[in-house]
A and B are shown apart, each in its own frame.
Chain A
Amino acid sequence: MIRKAVRFVDERTGTAPFLHKALRYLFPDHWSFLLGEVALYAFIVLVATGVYLTFFFADSTHQVVYHGPYAPLYGQHMSEAYRSVLNISTTVKAGLLIRQTHHWAANVFLAAIILHLFRIFFTGAYRKPREITYYLGVTMLMLALLEAYMGYSLVDDLMSGMGLVIGYSVGMAIPFVGANVMEWLFAGPFPGGESLWPRLYVAHVLLFPILIGILLTAHLALVALKHHTQFRQGRGETEHTVVGVPTWPGQTPRSLGLLTAVAGVLFLLGGLVQINPIWLWGPYHTYSSTNGAQPDWYLGWLIGGLRLMPGFDVVIGKYTLVPNAFWGGALFPLVVFGFLYFWPWLERRLTDDASFHNLADRPRDAPGRTAIGVAMAVWVVLVFVAGGADRIDVLFGISYVGQIWVFRVLVFVVPIVAGAVAYRVCKELQAGEPVEKNRHRAEVEARRYA
């Protein structure tokens, strides 16, 4: 039967040579290569659960009165959007499972992308000839952040609204054009015109997923065309020879196993571990907010940036040049993503290295890169921690104001120290390698003569 099918396909498409190559395509074997795959599978779960949610979601901020089964909100004024998500969470069968799985999948998607980025960065896998693959990846991270932000804005609960108005304000704070652009996007001043929700919705369920899908396809095609990088693992890997497991039969059950494992874990989380219990937050109104609100973790670094900034607008006469929210909300992520985009080019300039690289570095092999990467990562993580200073205040009773002042100093000092330490550790590891090798050889010899 297989013989018949293969002949049918080949005679009509002429793809037997390609199929044979695809089946015997080699995947270098290392656990860290699975991080990107996890992101891919989380994306698949996101699309599948997301499509289900669209069948029940109402993209309207039209005000209605809630008469559903959730008693604490009975009789309250809320948007149709929020009511529809309440219904998904209470009356639609399996609705809450799918919604929570969707939210968990978003978290895992972003976590996997970020860990994948770390792997690519610290092993120098972005170097020639794989720069485009890397730029596509960084762009997808940016899109994924926006996509996730729009996703939890759409629910229109209290947390959504507080997040949305902060996003609006950061946009407003862009010098010269911010107010005009945000009024244009929101169809009027906040809370926006009637068409805002349909806009957000179509962006979240159509434009951004398609964009991510296209970039993802290009990303994977480039990976396949240029093959993966590989570590030196003593199996004969060189710059010119790739060593790995073929798609069929070695890699197929592993990848499918990872796909089903990711999906399984996500559904277990979605069913058993509560996430974003929107019925507790209540509906959003321009005039309502609550203390202790935190965004999802992947936006925590931005709230940290906004909170750390000392209070001033840059003003010339009566003209506000740079409103405060710009620094933490727009410039900070711009610097971080700017660094990510420019780094491959910068490294090429600094090291004068225009050659091809198919072998991945270990972090210690490039101490300079590792140091800079560690410093950047520590910087962002510190700002992220500063974003949780109010929680630290509540949990440990340490004054919020005092903490902010400490963090304002730490974010400059600690990254430099961390970078220096990372550099030193790399150098020590390098120096230790011949020693280790000698000792190993001596031990083997000693055992032989014993």
Chain B
Amino acid sequence: MARAKDWLLSGLVLLLGRGRPQPRPGTPRVVARQPPHPRAELAVLALLGLSSACAAAFVVVYAVDRIPAQTQLLGLALGLSLVFLAAALVVTGKRLVPTEQLAEPYPPPGHPQEQQLVIQSLDEGVDGITRRRLLRLGLLGAGGTLALAAITPALSFGPLLRTAPLYRTPWRRGRRLVDESDRPLRADEIEEGSFYAAFPEGADKEEQGSPLVVVRLPPRQLALPGDLAGFDADGIVAYSSICTHAGCAITMYRSPKFAPVEPRPALVCPCHYSTFDPAAGGRVLFGPAGRPLPMLPLRVDGKGFLRAGGNFSGAVGPAWWGVRLRGAHS
């Protein structure tokens, strides 16, 4: 018992006692001497204590589910722990260690002698070879073809020279239009002033060739260009909902409430505000799109359901070099 007490006492003395190492006689100092700063030492000690208290709090908050606002408290605990540690380090840097400003020469701009030695070694290593130029060519050839072989497997990444899939869409003559929950759309439920999303029945909705925007316009407002004449079904028009600029979905419909003073109806892409005229075959009214929205011909079947009358008037999706060369196909 007494032994333990002695150990404890001497431990405490060692821990709490002040002292600095005596300078060794004879050897000059490398680092400038810093005058002692007991108050800064206490401050650092306090900051370290706070840091470790916060770190402990992090563990407690993590472990005890009953504590609410876990994310906030965990962040607060960990963040403060680090910030207190930072403060301790800054006080150390400012008060406890010397902040000498020293000067020394910059490294020399170059080493002409060594440069010469490097050049000589490189040269002399191969100056026994007589057909240097030919060998260099051979080496280049071998290296080049090997590099080519090494990158060849990267061709498996995807179709590199086949752009045919870009023209393909699931639409074909007679395919029914369904809504997002696969319910077939009837012509008589399409109202003026509203905006409907439609998809090809039984096809993958995630393909860019699938989604449509469907709106109904007063038939006298329709001014479809010649090649799109008859693409509407009694004023109902359908366009690809993929913007021809950057491929975002067109999910905004500007429909005038006070017709004479407001601009005409328009389909708008929320990404870069390309604006298309649904009455005029998807012509660009404003914004960066360089191509009209592809239009899908519509017809109404005997039961009143909307069906595609064929494929789109042009290739679907953002523009690329071949986008006008061919039309969309099924």
Q: Are A287 and B290 in contact (CB under 8 A)?
A: no
- Chain B residues near A226: list those with CB within 8 A: 106-107
Q: Are B102 and A243 in contact (CB under 8 A)?
A: yes
A30 CB within 8 Å of chain B: no
The stretch among B113-121, B122-130, B158-166, B182-190 that forms the contact with chain A is B158-166
A38 CB within 8 Å of chain B: no
B73 CB, min distance to chain A CBs, angstroms: 7
Q: Are B161 and A180 in contact (CB under 8 A)?
A: yes
Interface members, chain B 264-286 (any A CB < 8 Å)? 269-274, 284, 286
Main secondary structure of the interface of B (DSSP, over half): loop
CA of A332 to CA of B122, assembled, Å: 44
Q: Are B246 and A254 in contact (CB under 8 A)?
A: no
User: B interface vs A, CB < 8 Å?
Assistant: 30-31, 62, 70-76, 78-83, 85-90, 92-93, 97-107, 109, 155, 157-163, 165-166, 197, 199, 205-208, 210-211, 241-242, 245-252, 269-274, 284, 286-291, 317-325
Contact mask A114-132 → B, CB, 8 Å, 1/0?
Answer: 0000000000000001000
Q: Are A179 and B322 in contact (CB under 8 A)?
A: yes
- Chain A residues near B211: list those with CB within 8 A: 286-287
CA of A245 to CA of B159, assembled, Å: 57
Q: Are B72 and A187 in contact (CB under 8 A)?
A: no
User: A interface vs B, CB < 8 Å?
Assistant: 24, 26, 29, 93-94, 96-97, 100-101, 129, 162, 165-166, 168-170, 172-173, 175-181, 183-191, 193, 195, 199, 225-227, 235-236, 239-246, 248-250, 252-254, 256-261, 263-272, 285-293, 303, 306-313, 315, 318-321, 323-325, 328-329, 356, 358, 390, 400-401
Task: Count chain A CB atoms within 10 A of each CB in B103, B248, B321 and give the residue with the most.
Answer: B321
Q: Are A244 and B102 in contact (CB under 8 A)?
A: yes
Partner of B62, one of A94, A186, A293: A94
Q: Are A183 and B166 in contact (CB under 8 A)?
A: yes
B239 CB, min distance to chain A CBs, angstroms: 12
CA of A306 to CA of B245, assembled, Å: 9
Q: Are A239 and B271 in contact (CB under 8 A)?
A: no
B299 CB, min distance to chain A CBs, angstroms: 23
B100 CB, min distance to chain A CBs, angstroms: 6
Given contacts A189-B317, A358-B106, contact A324 B289 (CB under 8 A): yes
CA of A187 to CA of B156, assembled, Å: 9
- Chain A residues near B320: list those with CB within 8 A: 172-173, 178-179, 320, 323
CA of A250 to CA of B62, assembled, Å: 37
Q: Are B288 and A310 in contact (CB under 8 A)?
A: yes
Would you give 6 A-B contacts (Cβ < 8 Å), ordered by A? A165-B248, A169-B245, A240-B105, A243-B103, A246-B100, A260-B89
Q: Are A311 and B288 in contact (CB under 8 A)?
A: yes
Q: Are A272 and B165 in contact (CB under 8 A)?
A: no
Partner of B208, one of A189, A319, A321: A189
- Chain A residues near B78: list those with CB within 8 A: 97, 264, 267, 271
Given contacts A184-B158, A185-B158, A311-B286, contact A287 B249 (CB under 8 A): yes
CA of A129 to CA of B106, assembled, Å: 12
CA of A259 to CA of B82, assembled, Å: 9
Q: Are A97 and B101 in contact (CB under 8 A)?
A: no
- Chain A residues near B82: list those with CB within 8 A: 260-261, 263-264, 267
Q: Are B157 and A184 in contact (CB under 8 A)?
A: yes
Given contacts A271-B71, A313-B290, A325-B318, contact A185 B157 (CB under 8 A): yes
Chain A residue at smallest Cβ distance from B180: A287
- Chain A residues near B210: list those with CB within 8 A: 286-287
Q: Are B109 and A356 in contact (CB under 8 A)?
A: yes
